[in-house]
């Protein structure tokens, strides 16, 4: 870190003392090659732990080691090349020791040794957001929360019980300080301490190919003073995460990749400070966190656009928790490579499909007698084999087949959207895809 960056970080309340910076570039846990570019949008290839991911790429969310309603055969058939699993939930249940004994998440999930790459989050987001800590901003959802809208009943026709639907899964934070977070398990009340070292240790035990640093997702709204204090804590935790990751990689002889996360709330100067600090950690990739947390869409775009150029061009850029087709397009145009979001799977569980013409709500009475394919332009097995009328019937009847078919289709749509974006960048024709996406999915003001 240069002197100016150190001085700026110190003024922001950061901790430069004792930071361990690499004296020489360490062996990368990831290979990233940009193969084509149009404007700032780029097509590339990530090779991590022997697995190849073409970018821009969408990573389906498998919170508890499952993409809800889909099995391993579905994941293979869809061509999923990278998944996101949730460290917090898998730590609580079944436990990292259970997953490690199975040979890691890929084997545990039945995906085989040639299955997709797996990225695990740090667990911090769930602890903070589900607990409603600080009472600032909205309570943020994840895949274990009850579905919005009518949703689907249990197999016996009743509403899902808390154990099955995650209604009780709200950790109670007892302590938050430089060491880490102490919280009460929502399953049995035992006290659990989440530290940067423990988070990384659990992610390694789960067999993650990409390990995320422990950070604090700055809530919205947050004053500059609050965001600065949060950033100071985050930088200390990310430094310790990087050190523990390097130690475990060296100990095991593995080459798991490590991603750092840029935070700073809605304050561009803090985002710039965070990016400068994290560059010195020589991470394998850089994520942009703390967006899409309740802020107005116009503010979201301003922060995204000012933050994108701060991330190293030679590393993959990951926009966390985003989003709609329009949001993904907007970020691809600004040079982001990786995306994850629960939207396609959650919306499917509420009877909503993503199609080339826009969103389609199967609960609408107009589809009761509509015998056309769900999306006439889609080539997935659902659209080739079923009608809107049948899917609408399954949704209204609360049949789980409807949930499964809708989930499969929505993920197929997202994965095909990414393929179209990659091909358009290669052919320097991104504008044609952009026009189609924005016509079907207008950007929010």
The pLDDT tens digits for 66-91 are 999 999 999 999 999 999 999 999 99
- Spot the catalytic one: 284, 337, 340, 375: 340
Mean predicted lDDT score pLDDT of the chain: 88
231-240 pLDDT, tens digit each: 999 999 999 9
104-116 pLDDT, tens digit each: 999 999 999 999 9
Question: ∠ CA 434-440-442 to the nearest 5 degrees?
Answer: 80
Tokens representing 314 are 């030679």
Q: What is the largest CA-CA distance in the chain?
A: 69
Tokens representing 246 are 């390097």
Asked whether the beta carbons of 258 and 245 are under 8 A apart, the reply is yes
Higher pLDDT, 171 or 351: 351
Range 269-280 average pLDDT: 98
pLDDT at 153 (0 to 100): 33
Name the nearest CA neighbour of 41 among 445, 420, 294.
420
Instruction: List the strands of the sheet with 317-319, edge to edge.
Output: 57-59, 338-340, 317-319, 285-288, 257-262, 210-212, 117-120, 82-85, 61-62
- Spot the catalytic one: 114, 121, 156, 327: 121
Asked whether the beta carbons of 338 and 320 are under 8 A apart, the reply is no
**Structural element, H or E, at residue 11:** helix 3-11
Taken in order of first residue, the domains within the chain and their CATH numbers are 3-13+34-341 (3.20.20.105), 351-438 (no CATH)
Q: What share of the chain is helix, strand, coil (3-state, %, to 5)?
A: 40, 15, 40
Q: Is the pLDDT of residue 224 over 60?
A: yes
Q: Is the pLDDT of residue 345 over 70?
A: yes
Range 397-412 average pLDDT: 99
Separation between Cα atoms, residue 348 and residue 370, nearest integer Å: 19
Asked whether the beta carbons of 94 and 66 are under 8 A apart, the reply is no
Active site annotation includes 121: yes
Range 236-247 average pLDDT: 98
pLDDT at 10 (0 to 100): 41
pLDDT at 2 (0 to 100): 40
* Predicted TM-score (pTM) of this structure: 0.88
Name the nearest CA neighbour of 90 among 117, 119, 116.
119
pLDDT at 27 (0 to 100): 62
pLDDT at 394 (0 to 100): 99
Name 395's Cβ contacts closer than 8 Å, sequence gap at least 6.
Answer: 351, 362, 363, 402, 406
Lowest-confidence region among 24-28, 295-299, 391-395: 24-28
**Structural element, H or E, at residue 84:** strand 82-85
Secondary structure letter of residue 309 according to DSSP = G
Q: Residue 125 — pLDDT band, cuts 50, 70, 90?
A: confident
pLDDT at 169 (0 to 100): 53
Active site annotation includes 429: no
Range 272-289 average pLDDT: 98
């Amino acid at each position: 870190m240069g002197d100016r960056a150190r001085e700026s970080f110190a003024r922001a309340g950061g901790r430069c003392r004792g930071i361990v910076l690499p004296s020489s570039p360490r062996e990368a846990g990831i290979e990233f090659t940009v193969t084509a570019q149009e404007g700032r949008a780029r097509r590339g290839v990530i090779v991590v732990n022997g697995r190849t991911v073409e970018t821009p790429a969408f990573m389906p969310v498998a919170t508890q080691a499952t993409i809800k309603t889909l099995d391993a055969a579905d994941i293979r058939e869809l061509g999923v090349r990278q998944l996101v699993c949730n460290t917090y939930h898998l730590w609580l249940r079944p436990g990292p020791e259970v997953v490690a004994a199975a040979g890691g998440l890929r084997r545990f999930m039945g995906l085989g040794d040639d299955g997709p790459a797996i990225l695990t989050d740090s667990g911090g987001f769930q602890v903070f957001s589900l607990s409603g800590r600080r009472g600032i901003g909205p309570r943020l959802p994840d895949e274990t929360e009850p579905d919005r809208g009518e949703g689907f009943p249990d197999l016996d026709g009743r509403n899902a019980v808390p154990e099955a639907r995650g209604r009780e899964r709200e950790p109670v934070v007892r302590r938050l300080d430089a060491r880490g977070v102490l919280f009460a398990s929502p399953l049995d009340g035992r006290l659990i301490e989440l530290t940067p070292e423990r988070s990384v240790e659990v992610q390694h035990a789960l067999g993650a190919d990409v390990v995320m640093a422990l950070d604090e997702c700055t809530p919205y709204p947050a004053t500059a003073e609050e965001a600065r204090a949060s950033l100071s804590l985050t930088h200390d935790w990310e430094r310790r995460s990087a050190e523990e990751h390097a130690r475990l990689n060296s100990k095991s002889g593995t080459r798991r990749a490590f991603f750092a996360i840029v935070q700073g709330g809605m304050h561009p100067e803090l985002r710039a400070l965070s990016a400068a600090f994290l560059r010195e950690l020589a991470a394998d990739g850089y994520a942009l966190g703390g967006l899409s947390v309740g802020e107005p869409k116009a503010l979201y775009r301003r922060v995204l656009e000012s933050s994108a150029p701060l991330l190293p061009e030679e590393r993959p850029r990951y926009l966390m928790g985003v989003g709609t087709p329009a949001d993904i397009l907007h970020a691809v145009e600004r040079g982001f490579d990786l995306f994850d979001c629960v939207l396609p799977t959650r919306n499917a569980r509420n009877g909503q499909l993503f199609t080339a013409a826009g969103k389609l709500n199967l609960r609408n009475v107009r589809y009761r007698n509509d015998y056309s394919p769900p999306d006439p332009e889609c080539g997935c097995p659902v659209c080739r084999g079923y009608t809107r009328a049948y899917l609408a019937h399954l949704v209204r009847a609360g049949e789980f087949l409807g949930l499964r078919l809708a989930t499969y289709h929505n993920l197929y749509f997202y994965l095909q959207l990414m393929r179209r974006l990659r091909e358009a960048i290669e052919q320097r024709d991104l504008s044609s895809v952009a026009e189609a996406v924005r016509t079907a999915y207008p950007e929010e003001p």
